[in-house]
Amino acid sequence: MSDGFTVAIDGPAAAGKGTVSKAVAAHFGFSHLDTGLLYRAVGAKVLAGMDAAQAAQMLVADDLENDSLRTPAVAQAASQVAVIPQVRAALLDFQRGFAARAGGAVLDGRDIGTVICPEAHVKLFVTASAEVRAQRRFSELSGRGITDSIEQVLADVKARDARDMERAHAPLRPADDATIIDTSRLSIEQAVAAAVAAVNAVRGTA
């Protein structure tokens, strides 16, 4: 397979797409982009008082290296700015340029297979039940000393799902030709194996 091989991985929050994406990129030696970090970086700038569209237009690679991008407040801000068409348009070229880089690329997000890279060689949709995803997020937050209740985390997960799936521009949904990987009852190793198998099926390698 020639350079420029693109893998698009979409899915809701806490489904495991980030873990799967990193593992797939490492397995095949592809570059990886967590596109959610772009929106988190914009969200962080909005929380600091900047206009969302301006923040997206001024975004630079160094903005993605900020540890504070993983906080719940920034995650909520990211979901809110992601519904703004001007923000999505400003970040479109960055993502498509990354996808076309030599050596192969894996991009994960919410509209990679449907909007950003509709011609991606492989499209995966990594999902899990809201309850399973809430439990995973609750465990992650508890490990970082954040004491939201499981009920609050589940409510937040469902609210974010609704925002992502019901937005007018680039809603979260599987591409028509995406392979669905439901991680509700899969181990990390099983989910990664399913994703690698899907890529291998297209690349024609074992």
User: Which parts are annotated binding residues for ATP?
Assistant: 11-19
Q: How far apart are CA 40 and CA 43, in angstroms?
A: 5
> How many angstroms separate the CA atoms of 149 and 93, rounded?
39
Annotated binding site: 11-19
Pick left, alpha or beta for residue 126 (phi over 0 → left; psi -120 to 50 → alpha; otherwise beta).
beta
Measured over the CA atoms of residue 170, residue 184, residue 69 and residue 5, the dihedral's sign is: negative
Q: How buried is residue 50: exposed, middle or buried, by Cβ count under 10 Å (0-12/13-18/19+)?
A: middle
Instruction: Give me the phi and psi of 139, to 5 degrees please.
Output: -65, -40
- CA 60 – CA 200 distance, rounded (Å): 33
Please name every residue paired with 24 in a beta bridge, in sequence order, or none if there are none. none
